[in-house]
Amino acid sequence: MLDQAPLLNGVTRSRRTADYALITPDTFVPTPLPGWTDATAVVHIAPEIGARFTHYTAEMAAGSVSGGPGAGVSRFAFVAEGAVAFEDSPPGGPAGQTLGTGEYFFLPPAEDRRFTAGQQGAKLIVFEKPYVPSGEGPASAVIGRAGDAPGEAFQGDADLLLQTLLPAEPAFDMAVNLFTYQPGARLPQVEVHVMEHGLIMLQGEGVYRLGDDWHPVQAGDIIWMASYCPQWFVAMGKQPAKYLYYKDVHRDRLTEKPGFAGREA
């Protein structure tokens, strides 16, 4: 594992530029979650940094109840620790259905539902964005388990396993994926593309190229990549590296308003 820099020396691996940010756990600052009870969050990525989405980690005490994501906003949440139960009927299940560690859900704006943390509390990785409608009809709610998501060799490389957690359908304007690298595996190219990313390292370590810089990264680190930020990753160490990441998809950029507001009405 990489050594964390001692705070007394004023040193950190965290870095922010116009095109990317690397945010490491030694710099996390918790804040209350408006509309939630007995919950705090570390807001890693938000419009203030230049992003068109929000990425935060929610810490829910036992019995904590969620708040809503805001009008017109869809929410993806991955249960990193503990469990949550829906107060009303979730998609495909009865009210009170519980989701445990490694399970996740996506709720479009019309399907907003409250959920409550179990007796051990819960830790959630959350991505939210204003939903941009398409001509394909609204996105549907989704509940899944990461272990059930089929994996495929990325560009034919068996050492790169990509799991797609949301349907790759035009109704969905966000994608959330799990990417697992065997030690020494690397992306086959430096990528430069219109989608922006929010990413959390779940296990392992490696080196990430961001823009013109190379950064050592490890489990717990957060990365924001703006549109067209050059990016590349190689896994290092003795165990696989895995990260969960978000990107915006399936929308015509010329028919959307600039910035965070979505498309014209």
260 pLDDT band, cuts 50/70/90, is very low
Dist CA 245 CA 253 (whole Å) = 21
User: How confident is the model over 90-107, as pLDDT tens digits?
Assistant: 777 777 889 999 999 999
Dist CA 30 CA 12 (whole Å) = 18
pLDDT value for 94? 77
- Strand, helix or coil for residue 37: coil
In the chain, the percentage of residues whose pLDDT exceeds 90 is: 82
pLDDT value for 259? 46
pLDDT value for 120? 95
Which residues of the chain form beta strands (DSSP E)?
Answer: 15-16, 20-23, 31-32, 39-45, 54-60, 73-86, 98-100, 103-107, 115-130, 142-145, 151-154, 157-164, 174-181, 197-203, 205-210, 213-218, 222-225, 231-236, 241-248
pLDDT value for 4? 58
User: How confident is the model over 229-259, as pLDDT tens digits?
Assistant: 999 999 999 999 999 999 999 988 776 654 4
pLDDT value for 137? 82
Which residue's structure tokens are 């035009």?
A: 170
Q: Is 124 a residue whose pLDDT tops 50? A: yes
Q: What is the pTM of this model?
A: 0.92
First vs last C-alpha separation in the chain = 49
User: How confident is the model over 12-33, as pLDDT tens digits?
Assistant: 999 999 999 999 999 999 999 9
Q: Any idea which of 9-13, 169-173, 212-216 has the lowest mean pLDDT?
A: 9-13
262 pLDDT band, cuts 50/70/90, is very low
pLDDT value for 29? 97
| Beta-sheet pairing, 174-181 with 241-248 | antiparallel
Q: Is 5 a residue whose pLDDT tops 80? A: no
Mean pLDDT confidence for 179-208: 98
User: How confident is the model over 38-84, as pLDDT tens digits?
Assistant: 999 999 999 999 999 999 999 999 999 999 999 999 999 999 999 99
Q: Is 1 a residue whose pLDDT tops 60? A: no
More confident residue, 112 or 169: 169
Q: Is 114 a residue whose pLDDT tops 60? A: yes
Q: Which of 151, 128, 26 is nearest to 78 (CA)?
A: 128
Q: What is the DSSP letter of 49?
A: G
Average pLDDT, the chain: 92
Which residues 6+ apart lie within 8 Å of 179 measured at CB?
A: 154, 160, 161, 162, 163, 242, 243, 245
